[in-house]
Chains A and B, each alone.
Chain A
Amino acid sequence: MNLKSLSKDWEAVSYGFLDASAKRELRRKMLKAVAVPGCQMPYASREVPMARGWGTGGLQVSLTLMNPQTIVKVIDQGADDSVNAASIRKFLTRVTGAKATWDTLDATLIQSRHRVPEEKLTKDQILVLQVPNPEPLRSVEPNMSIARQMHADADYSRMWLQLYEQIVRSGRVMQGASYPSMVNGRHVMTPSPIPRWDVPKLHMAEHLTILSAGREKRIFAVPPHTRVEPLVFSDVPYKVEEHGNITCTRSALKGFFMNEIPNDDGTSSYEVSDSNLGIKALNAPEDASQKIGETWYQDGEWAQ
């Protein structure tokens, strides 16, 4: 017995890696997800050459949506140059023939882990978010059958209770990323672990957002012009992270979501989390093509 006898002969893979039936199923589930905003649609998550939990959900959606005309951007926590982002980008372009970009404005499809770019997305763009845990009720109802029934009943009182408990015990809402949000007034979703800063960017947006969890086999979506409202008490306003006054130590950009970098002396310095935004800001003086587009936040304030 040798390795050759155990493996199949080389064959060309399907266009976009996934076979036609897998893509057909994904398209159907995406259409369903768009039709019922925020509602989790189960799908038969396929094997892709990447470990579950590393963005396989997002990858399958991207593979299904892409064609040779697509211009794809892949970011990981805002960065285009992380190993994971680079690997996914390379794989996507290789199996679809699509072009890659780092520039949010150029991209037609953006696959992202844990961030929404700072530049406003438009109606021609699709944002694909990788989701580790699609079930917002998991922390309050470990039994998934009951959780599904709660979704069906729109019974989200336990989510509010969780916020109540946080305020009573800690004096404020402690929920950071994955802030539970009501979509279209009906389904509560977890917007994947994007920071609170990014949640308003999904509300009444121009672009389509598709959220996909490969390990948990769930797809849900926020179509354009759809309400995404973080769960808040009427008398305790929603607060985003206080990054509005922080200046990026490299690009000198101010008023965007920052990465905190601990220094040796115990202090912190900050770099803008949307790394290509920082790069464009640095290059702008020499290169006119490096134009920063309209951003959701201006001077740290929501600008809509």
Chain B
Amino acid sequence: MTEAVLNVSGLTKSFQMHHLDNTLHAFRDVNFSLKQGEFVLLKGPNGVGKSTLLRTIYRTYLPVDGQVMFHSARGDIDLANAADIDVALLRAEEIGFVTQFLVARPRVAAEEIVAEPLRLAGVAPEDALDQARHWLNVFGVKEKLWKAYPTTFSGGEQQKVNLARALILPRRLLLLDEPTASLDAGARAALTQRLDELKKEGVAMIGVFHHPGDVADLVDRTIELTIVSEERRPADVAV
């Protein structure tokens, strides 16, 4: 019996641009749900608001209306209205957001960056580093770079470090925002395999993919966002 992880209902996002005295509509009345171990692919033309939707669920963007009911291990909570501190807690424990961009810090070694989520979760530093090295290896980061600072890496290498870091902890919900853009084939294959493992562990995933073919075997459902003809970029949803 798989339980629901996320129930999104009536979710609406617009951006009020004070200096333009204008409101940009991103999407309106989005409804869908996500179960444990389910993999949902977001599709739609460029600018339709796929990334915006993921960020609104993650609460990087504040929803204007609707509910994002997350069935957390701690209980049910509406992410659209939850207190910031609760959202921060859930981000640390249960909700992952994977992008192609690495938030690197100067003078922090690649393996340290990857190990950080484990360390913050209370894993002993040495164990965390061992696991970090394992995942760096899986994503094809060469050993000589493990102790180097990713701020000096190429975009592709940074992205691999980022994936290793983002996927090192099994989360309850993973939001994937084009994690494969500009990745080489080897790393993309490693990613697909890791996502498959996570799916089997019960992680619910929703994502936008630059190469949807990579994850074709994982996809349970597809949600298509379409532009509706209202103002600049309103969007509607079809499941």
Q: Classify A-B as touching or not with yes or no (CB < 8 A).
A: no
Give chain A's interface residues, CB within 8 Å of chain B. none
